[in-house]
Amino acid sequence: MANSTFKGLNAVQRQSLVISLTAFFTSLLLIALVSVLVLIGYRGVAYFWPEPIYLITSKHESGEFPVLANIYRDLSEQEVTLKYSNAKHPYGSQIRIEQGGLDSVELALDSAEIKLKDGRRILALPEYIITPTHAQKSLTEFSAVASEAALITAQIESINSTHLAPVHEALSQFDKRDVVKDAPAREKLVNTFNIYQKRIFALEKQRAEYQLRIVFPNGEGMLVPVASIQDIDFVSRLTVYEKWKVLLSEVAIFLTESPKQANTSGGVFPALFGTVLMVFLMTIIVTPFGVLAAIYLNEYAPHTSLTTVIRVCVSNMAGVPSIVYGVFGLGFFVYTLGGSIDELFFSDTLPAPTMGSPGVFWASLTMAILTLPVVIVATEEGLRRVPEGLKAGSYALGATKFETIVRTILPIASPGIMTGVILAIARAAGEVAPLMLVGAVKFAPTLPIDSEFPFLHLDRQFMHLGVLIYDGAFHSQTDGKSASMMFAACLLLLVVVFVLNILAVILRARLRRRYHKG
Amino acid sequence: MLKLFEHNTLSVKDISQEQTAIEVKNLNLWFGNKQVLDDICMRIPKKKITALIGQSGCGKSTLINCFNRLNDLYDGCRYDGEIIIDDRDINSRKVNVSRLRTKVGMVFQRPNPFPMSIYENVCYGLKLQGVKIRRHLDDAVESALKQAALWNEVKDRLFESAHVLSGGQQQRLVIARALALKPDILLLDEPTSALDPLTTLFIEELMDELKKHCTIIIVTHNMQQAARVSDYTAFFHQGRLIEYADSDTLFTMPDKKQTEDYITGRYG
């Protein structure tokens, strides 16, 4: 059939048909690539962009109106999504409503988006501030009042760390030594504890008296403790320049803070840190393993059918579904290896596992196994490209095989090795499924690194951007804002992979310049 | 030609034990089942230039690879017979091959400088020997580069990549790299076949200078070159040593018909 349709065309037409077809598929590829980047980029940045607040009235049967809301318009639909606050739902709720159902929509210039420190947001009209002296202060003095409240917070924290912490420490020592409940020393400690506790309660009470009064559109008011407020933005009043400033501060919060409200707001720092740490550890583990294996296969192993079989197996390992590696990591590393380590070295804490539970080290090790074939194949490719003449030149100067490998072959093959490492990094940074089995969690209370010995806690579970995105995807139906947090995390993951790759590519280019002609 | 006749060259049969750098006794070599060298016997004189000529695949390169055991690198290579250098059979298992290769330097057909600086290239062998003192390395690099007549061209850019040098300079760098180890014997495997005529001439002059210090064995396809530079010439054909004589004799009054055909260009 193809032949008969082709017969009507002359040679030039046939050729141009082939060119058009191939060009068409190339352009499809480009379109797919660009749309991924544009979508992720647009939705990701939209998460940080301050949306203006509208005062909206409607006779909708839900009885929620009037509300203050951000309006999210879908591209083609008649419906809009409103993310609103009112007296019933001060911390925000969401509704989809037909455009025609809205009675009036006006920009609420005096209303503000009040960001709380716990990650929640309130859209309301701030009225005035109440201080402990019961004086009403105007909003312009907010920052002064906020710093007064912050001063009290600092006092509370200093009491906590300088006085209460040692008491806790001493009490836990007593518990360890089984000191009786009514021992005088213990009672003395409890007394001091109570004294400081009282001081803290007093301070907290004082702090709670700094309040911000806000009013919702239906006239109901509410008091918000000043100490819990992070920021007040009169979004509708902002100029574009000011909006960018807000956006940048939001990005800074996103990058440096922990997630709040079950990963729907706040920042992603632990996930970012966890991702980079895991990739870093994975690289440290996989590079020597892969390079040594490739050296053996390429330089030392005899050329028999067995080595051919091994090569085929290595290449096929790259195609094994990643979840299989996750199950292997859980079954072998975590349960078997980790369990044995616990029995041997941490038997006093059993049955609570130390290494026998998923953690960042096992995750890195699993990812190292997963990316090993990539590194081996790329390294072998690099080793094979070392000119025979250079090897012979090295041997002719009295170098042994090992010296030749270390001094000549490896440096020349290093760009090839770096290619393998780049591919491994790209793969490892993007994997989610196996990580969820061997150590990545939705929320980890602590970072795998801290100031306590041994500083790097490889047994701890960690957060990962991919897992955060996966988690975020389940919020998307109910909450537009947290869905866009997923997009923001996605954008960040892209940036992380991109930056890691760029670093490796720069390193590879430097190695190439150094060891290759031109 | 007159100058050539004034050379005070002994006939190959008169080379005494003391004057011999390499003595090859009944050397046979196989790659797999293919016999590449067939019962080679020859004495290569000290501090002379010996040229090995013959068609491609006649085994001359394989022979010089025997002198530093470079054939060991190839799978399926077997050999028997003796090669005696400094009263020791280097084909014996007990020989320290690394040590042997520092005493028997080699230069290949294509310049193969390592992708390092010029300085690092020349020190490569010395550093393998464990020489670490900077001053010793500096001195060795300077004298090796001077010997290879490269010093004046590179002394200001010793730490630049060796790849910036021209082909002829690279080949001299590779010679300097071998000379830095102060070898007794220098094997040159078609050292000028990748170079232009002027550079070739330069390298030939260099060889003439170098033979004061070491024995040189050169494999070449260029008959004029063999006649110009060598004191002795051996002609190989299909793995056999057909004729071996001082160059003057071999190129003017060859004994064998095969040799005459080859040097007059009737085949090969």
Which residues of chain B does A410 touch, with a Cβ-Cβ cutoff of 8 Å? none
Q: How far is residue A263's CA from residue A485's CA, in Å, rounded to a whole number?
A: 8
pLDDT digits 0-9 by tens, B130-148: 888 889 899 999 999 988 8
Q: How far is residue A95's CA from residue A107's CA, in Å, rounded to a whole number?
A: 19
**Do A366 and A328 touch, CB atoms closer than 8 A?**
yes
The per-residue pLDDT for B147 is 84
pLDDT < 50 stretches in chain A:
1-2, 482, 518
Q: How far is residue A107's CA from residue A109's CA, in Å, rounded to a whole number?
A: 6
Please measure the distance between the N-terminal and C-terminal CA atoms of chain A and give it in whole angstroms.
51
The per-residue pLDDT for A180 is 73
- Report the candidate in B171, B123, B164, B161 with the shortest Cα–Cα distance to residue B144: B123
Which residues of chain B does A394 touch, with a Cβ-Cβ cutoff of 8 Å? 114, 124
Name the CATH architecture for the domain at A269-446+458-515: Orthogonal Bundle (1.10)
Give the torsion sign (CA, B254, B257, B262, B266).
positive
Which chain B residue has the Cα nearest residue A518? B163
Asked if the Cβ–Cβ distance from B102 to A394 is below 8 Å, we say no
Q: How far is residue A479's CA from residue A72's CA, in Å, rounded to a whole number?
A: 12
Burial of A259 (0-12, 13-18, 19+ CB in 10 A): buried
Which residues of chain B does A515 touch, with a Cβ-Cβ cutoff of 8 Å? 115
Asked if the Cβ–Cβ distance from A407 to B124 is below 8 Å, we say yes
Question: At CB < 8 Å, which residues of chain B contact A?
Answer: 68, 70, 73, 75, 98-102, 105-106, 108, 110, 112-116, 124-125, 128-129, 161, 163, 174, 177-178, 181
B158: closest CA of chain A, how far (Å): 15
SS3 B136: helix
H helix runs in A405-460, sequence order: 410-430, 433-438
The pairing of strands A229-233 and A112-116 is antiparallel
Which of B115, B116, B125 minimises the CB distance to A397?
A: B125
Kindly report whether the peptide bond that precedes residue A270 is cis, defined as omega within 30 degrees of 0: no
A290: closest CA of chain B, how far (Å): 24
Report phi then psi at A489, rounded to 5. -65, -35
Tell me the two tokens of residue A463. 């957060």
Q: How far is residue B48's CA from residue B46's CA, in Å, rounded to a whole number?
A: 6
Dihedral angle, C-alpha A178, A182, A185, A188, nearest 10 °: 130
Which of A390, A398, A400 minimises the CB distance to B114?
A: A390
- Position A5, amino acid: T
Which residues of chain B does A303 touch, with a Cβ-Cβ cutoff of 8 Å? 75
Please measure the distance between the N-terminal and C-terminal CA atoms of chain B and give it in whole angstroms.
25
Question: At CB < 8 Å, which residues of chain A contact B?
Answer: 302-303, 387, 389-400, 403, 407-408, 411-412, 514-518
Which chain B residue has the Cα nearest residue A393? B112
B103: closest CA of chain A, how far (Å): 9
What letter does residue A52 receive in the DSSP assignment?
P
**Do B91 and B129 touch, CB atoms closer than 8 A?**
no
Q: How confident is the model over B196-214, as a mean pLDDT?
A: 86
Asked if the Cβ–Cβ distance from A392 to B125 is below 8 Å, we say no
The per-residue pLDDT for A33 is 93
The per-residue pLDDT for B211 is 86
Which of B99, B106, B115 minimises the CB distance to A515?
A: B115
Which chain B residue has the Cα nearest residue A400? B98
Asked if the Cβ–Cβ distance from A397 to B102 is below 8 Å, we say yes
Which residues of chain A does B163 touch, with a Cβ-Cβ cutoff of 8 Å? 517-518
**Do A88 and A100 touch, CB atoms closer than 8 A?**
no
The per-residue pLDDT for A7 is 66
Could you please report the per-residue DSSP string of A93-129?
A: EEEEEEGGGEEEEEE-SS-EEEEETTS-EEEEEEEEE
Could you please report the per-residue DSSP string of B192-209?
A: TTTS-HHHHHHHHHHHHH
Instruction: Count how many residues are written for chain A.
Output: 518
Which residues of chain B does A416 touch, with a Cβ-Cβ cutoff of 8 Å? none
Asked if the Cβ–Cβ distance from B110 to A389 is below 8 Å, we say yes
Report phi then psi at B191, rounded to 5. -70, -20
Q: How far is CA A461 from the centre of its chain?
A: 14
Give the torsion sign (CA, A179, A184, A190, A192).
negative
- Position A254, amino acid: F
Which chain A residue has the Cα nearest residue B106? A396
The pairing of strands A112-116 and A93-98 is unpaired
pLDDT category at B5 given cuts 50, 70, 90 is: very low
Asked if the Cβ–Cβ distance from B73 to A395 is below 8 Å, we say yes
Instruction: Lay out the sheet containing B20-31: strands in order across.
Output: B34-45, B20-31, B77-85, B88-89
Asked if the Cβ–Cβ distance from B115 to A516 is below 8 Å, we say yes
Q: How far is residue A267's CA from residue A259's CA, in Å, rounded to a whole number?
A: 5
Q: What number of other Cβ atoms are within 10 A of residue A309's Cβ?
A: 10
Which of A389, A412, A514 minimises the CB distance to B108?
A: A389
**Do A159 and A204 touch, CB atoms closer than 8 A?**
no
- B6 pLDDT exceeds 50? no
Which chain A residue has the Cα nearest residue B176? A397
Q: How far is residue B147's CA from residue B214's CA, in Å, rounded to a whole number?
A: 12
Q: How far is residue A91's CA from residue A481's CA, in Å, rounded to a whole number?
A: 13
What angle (nearest 5°) sits at the alpha carbon of residue B47, between those of residues B44 and B48? 60
Which residues of chain B does A387 touch, with a Cβ-Cβ cutoff of 8 Å? 112
Which residues of chain B does A396 touch, with a Cβ-Cβ cutoff of 8 Å? 68, 70, 101, 105-106, 108, 178
**Do B124 and B114 touch, CB atoms closer than 8 A?**
yes
Asked if the Cβ–Cβ distance from B161 to A514 is below 8 Å, we say yes
Mutation for A interface: B128, B186, B189, B217, most A CBs within 10 A: B128
H helix runs in chain B, sequence order: 2-6, 60-67, 97-103, 118-128, 134-147, 151-154, 167-179, 197-210, 223-229, 247-252, 257-263
pLDDT digits 0-9 by tens, B60-111: 888 989 998 888 888 888 888 889 888 888 888 888 888 889 889 999 888 8
Report phi then psi at B22, rounded to 5. -130, 130
Tell me the two tokens of residue A400. 């042994």
Which residues of chain A does B129 touch, with a Cβ-Cβ cutoff of 8 Å? 398
Q: Bridge partners of B106?
A: B187
Q: Which residues of B207-225 are buried (b: 16+ CB within 10 A; e: fewer)?
A: beebbeebbbbbbbebbeb
Which residues of chain A does B177 touch, with a Cβ-Cβ cutoff of 8 Å? 393, 397
A420: closest CA of chain B, how far (Å): 21
What angle (nearest 5°) sits at the alpha carbon of residue A261, between those of residues A257 and A41? 60
Tell me the two tokens of residue A225. 């403790």
Asked if the Cβ–Cβ distance from A397 to B181 is below 8 Å, we say yes
Q: How far is residue B162's CA from residue B166's CA, in Å, rounded to a whole number?
A: 9
pLDDT category at B9 given cuts 50, 70, 90 is: low
Q: How far is residue A513's CA from residue A166's CA, in Å, rounded to a whole number?
A: 58
Instruction: Count residue pairs from A and B with Cβ separation < 8 A.
Output: 69
Q: What number of other Cβ atoms are within 10 A of residue B263's Cβ?
A: 20
Asked if the Cβ–Cβ distance from B101 to A397 is below 8 Å, we say yes
Give the max Cα distance, chain B. Answer: 57
Rg (CA), chain B: 18
Which of A398, A514, A515 minimises the CB distance to B125?
A: A398
Which of B75, B110, B177 minimises the CB distance to A397?
A: B177
Tell me the two tokens of residue B239. 């793995």
What angle (nearest 5°) sits at the alpha carbon of residue B53, between those of residues B47 and B56? 140
Which residues of chain A does B99 touch, with a Cβ-Cβ cutoff of 8 Å? 398
Contacts of A255 (CB under 8 A, 6+ apart): A267, A268, A269, A272, A492
Mutation for B interface: A299, A303, A397, A517, most B CBs within 10 A: A397
The per-residue pLDDT for A296 is 92
Which residues of chain B does A408 touch, with a Cβ-Cβ cutoff of 8 Å? 114
- Position B69, amino acid: R
Q: What helix, strand, coil percent values describe chain B, rounded to 5?
A: 40, 25, 35
The per-residue pLDDT for B3 is 47
**Do A329 and A434 touch, CB atoms closer than 8 A?**
yes
pTM as predicted:
0.77
H helix runs in A118-239, sequence order: 142-159, 165-176, 184-208
**Average pLDDT in chain B:** 86
**Do B20 and B32 touch, CB atoms closer than 8 A?**
no
Q: How far is residue B182's CA from residue B186's CA, in Å, rounded to a whole number?
A: 10
B25 to A58, A144, A313, B43: CA distances (angstroms): 110, 101, 48, 9
Rg (CA), chain A: 31
Q: Bridge partners of B243?
A: B235
What are the domain boundaries of chain A? 2-46, 126-258, 269-446+458-515
